[in-house]
Chain A
């Protein structure tokens, strides 16, 4: 499975997408774009120089020193400008293309009726996922590879360290893979009729991931690592709100942005991967994102992650944090409740078994409510642990845990009512 270049699905995409004529065309266009952007950067710097020289002639003094500095740094700054443009464009193209193509992958094959034939091969769900994840956006990856030497050259000439360049690329590729795997999952949920909705959903998800940049200023700054912009901001010399430097925190310890985003992508990506591998070869009507235990595990994971990433910039009250976590769990329980709905035909079989006394209340094919209660209990247990662990950093209010228990119980009842109604 690790030899992705021999994965039949990947090879199929490479053959279809990168026929010699098309590959040459893409390479030529990419290099032409580089040349155009390079000229634009050079032109911008020249304009700045000319304008500074005019000011120096007019005013002299510190302007002359400034012009001298501009001349001294001109080559480096021009390369740096080119690098920023190229890196930003590559990040945008690769991440967007990866998500966009993957979000149409399975639904597109359902549409063209080739999906059944792929499902009847000996390829495992994992192999199909890897093949599609890397194969669908292969044209964008190829274009990036064409531009890669120029970007590296521009970055190094612009004074960026090799390590920073490498981490920028790792970050972009990790984002593309994460968005791609999310896109693939989205496409497995779509039929021909709903492909348009899926693409809107993909755009929304892309917007959310990129916009997660803003979460760096929240109580959970680590969540900002979801956005490719957050990691690129050091390389691209962007600043957060108010020019503050913000770092993600894990269990109270500062960690690098790249590490944080790799952790987030790996952990959330693993959940999406589980859902894909469980369901990819199933018929559309039989898709069930997570098993019952996985639902409980998912709730535990998200709660645990939020307490691990918690980093208040101001002193906040424990009951405020508890109310926030109850709200979060309300949304989370509703989502996992939807993910654990039992298909109608399976539920009928379970009912028959229940009438005969052979099916358990906690069966995988049964009703979701017992597992929602278990998930709620796990969420509350983690809330107790989280609030007590952070009590020294919070304005700890006695009774906030008791109040949170009541709130969570009410939320759970409403969520169960809605999920049972949908079921």
Chain B
């Protein structure tokens, strides 16, 4: 569990993070999104004890990170966007070093190193010197380092940078399996498709402030965002649809083409069902009528364009 309480970070005249309050329960994958310079990295660095907050506290599993960094860091796995590794070690030596540094039980270290090497698909490179690894392999080694001590909390700052598509897919699967094992994950990215599909909650940061945060469906509902809908029909019903939909109080952004169209609907489920009934009753031969699922990217774009602020 991660708790950020009135967190603030100042650099001379710049306020990088302002009065940030956030609670991420155990087992959540929280996506921290925002443009460059929004304060995501500063937030993560404060959460893992690399930066001391100017004001406020960061608690990881109930431990104040600033007051007891070593204790808190025992349960934190941290990965940043740069994949710096000790080039003069072998792959297994690198992981063995961090296993010892995180105080993994002596008897478990060898087996854990082997297990983690398998999880990031570096078995064939186990005895290779790190300096000979490719960029993507080094990043995978970084991921292995971050999870070597089975951390309860993972703080990942742009973790997929440098990974090829296959490795990105593997990373997502790995994060899902870690979430299933009860890990809490805070992941930041400005590449929103990275977060798609496995984040359970999101937080949108801009200019050091958390604009919105919560579970994705809750954020959508709380902001009463219009749903995107797509419909298709048979025959020539464009004029009729323009009349029916264009005049509807909850419909906006109507775009009709030949046999297909999209629009936004801001009403309730009941009102949506009624709209469909009305269309069918008025003689429109509706072939498909479906909600376009909101992506994290859609949500971010709507919120960051200040549509709901």
B12 to chain A minimum Cβ distance, whole angstroms, is: 6
B145 interface hit (Cβ, 8 Å)? yes
Does B84 contact A120, Cβ atoms closer than 8 Å? no
B-chain residues with CB within 8 Å of residue A283 when the two chains form the complex: 45, 50-52
Does A286 contact B52, Cβ atoms closer than 8 Å? yes
Residues of A139-196 whose CB lies within 8 A of B: none
A124 interface hit (Cβ, 8 Å)? yes
B225 interface hit (Cβ, 8 Å)? no
Does B55 contact A282, Cβ atoms closer than 8 Å? no
Does A8 contact B97, Cβ atoms closer than 8 Å? yes
A346 to B8, CA, bound (A): 12
Contact pattern, B 68-107, Cβ under 8 Å of A = 1, otherwise 0: 0110011010101010111111000100011011110000
B137 interface hit (Cβ, 8 Å)? no
**Contact check: which of B52, B80, B101 meets A123 at CB < 8 Å?**
B101
Does B80 contact A118, Cβ atoms closer than 8 Å? no
B-chain residues with CB within 8 Å of residue A45 when the two chains form the complex: none
* Most B C-beta atoms less than 10 A away, residue of A15, A121, A123, A346: A121
B-chain residues with CB within 8 Å of residue A344 when the two chains form the complex: 12
Does B82 contact A121, Cβ atoms closer than 8 Å? no
A281 interface hit (Cβ, 8 Å)? yes
A298 to chain B minimum Cβ distance, whole angstroms, is: 23
A-chain residues with CB within 8 Å of residue B45 when the two chains form the complex: 283
A6 to chain B minimum Cβ distance, whole angstroms, is: 8
Does A113 contact B84, Cβ atoms closer than 8 Å? yes
A-chain residues with CB within 8 Å of residue B82 when the two chains form the complex: 113
* Most B C-beta atoms less than 10 A away, residue of A9, A12, A281: A12
**Contact check: which of A15, A113, A348 meets B89 at CB < 8 Å?**
A15
Which chain B residue lies CB-closest to A12?
B97
**How many chain-A residues does the 8 Å CB contact rule pick out?**
28
Contact pattern, A 120-136, Cβ under 8 Å of B = 1, otherwise 0: 11111000000000000
A9 to B101, CA, bound (A): 8
Does B97 contact A124, Cβ atoms closer than 8 Å? no
B-chain residues with CB within 8 Å of residue A122 when the two chains form the complex: 70, 73-74, 101-103
Given A12-B86, A114-B85, are A120 and B11 also a contact pair (CB < 8 Å)? no
Which chain B residue lies CB-closest to A283?
B51
A140 to B69, CA, bound (A): 34
A9 to B98, CA, bound (A): 9
**Contact check: which of B73, B85, B89 meets A120 at CB < 8 Å?**
B73
B-chain residues with CB within 8 Å of residue A117 when the two chains form the complex: 78, 84, 98, 145
Which chain B residue lies CB-closest to A121?
B101
A56 to chain B minimum Cβ distance, whole angstroms, is: 60
Given A122-B73, A124-B70, are A345 and B54 also a contact pair (CB < 8 Å)? yes
A117 to B48, CA, bound (A): 10
Contact pattern, B 19-48, Cβ under 8 Å of A = 1, otherwise 0: 000000000000000000000000001001
Contact pattern, A 12-32, Cβ under 8 Å of B = 1, otherwise 0: 100110000000000000000
B-chain residues with CB within 8 Å of residue A121 when the two chains form the complex: 73, 98, 101-102
Does B100 contact A349, Cβ atoms closer than 8 Å? no
Which chain A residue lies CB-closest to B88?
A16
A112 interface hit (Cβ, 8 Å)? yes
Does B10 contact A345, Cβ atoms closer than 8 Å? yes
A20 to B256, CA, bound (A): 74
B208 interface hit (Cβ, 8 Å)? no
Given A286-B52, A349-B55, are A11 and B100 also a contact pair (CB < 8 Å)? yes
B49 interface hit (Cβ, 8 Å)? yes
A216 to chain B minimum Cβ distance, whole angstroms, is: 42
* Most A C-beta atoms less than 10 A away, residue of B55, B73, B101: B101
* Most A C-beta atoms less than 10 A away, residue of B69, B76, B103: B69
B-chain residues with CB within 8 Å of residue A9 when the two chains form the complex: 101
A395 interface hit (Cβ, 8 Å)? no
Contact pattern, A 348-385, Cβ under 8 Å of B = 1, otherwise 0: 11000000000000000000000000000000000000
Closest 10 CB pairs of A and B: A113-B84, A121-B101, A8-B100, A16-B88, A345-B10, A120-B78, A114-B84, A8-B101, A12-B97, A122-B74
- CB-defined A-B contacts under 8 Å, sample of 17: A8-B100, A8-B101, A9-B101, A12-B86, A112-B84, A113-B84, A116-B78, A117-B78, A120-B49, A120-B76, A121-B101, A122-B70, A123-B70, A281-B49, A281-B69, A344-B12, A345-B11
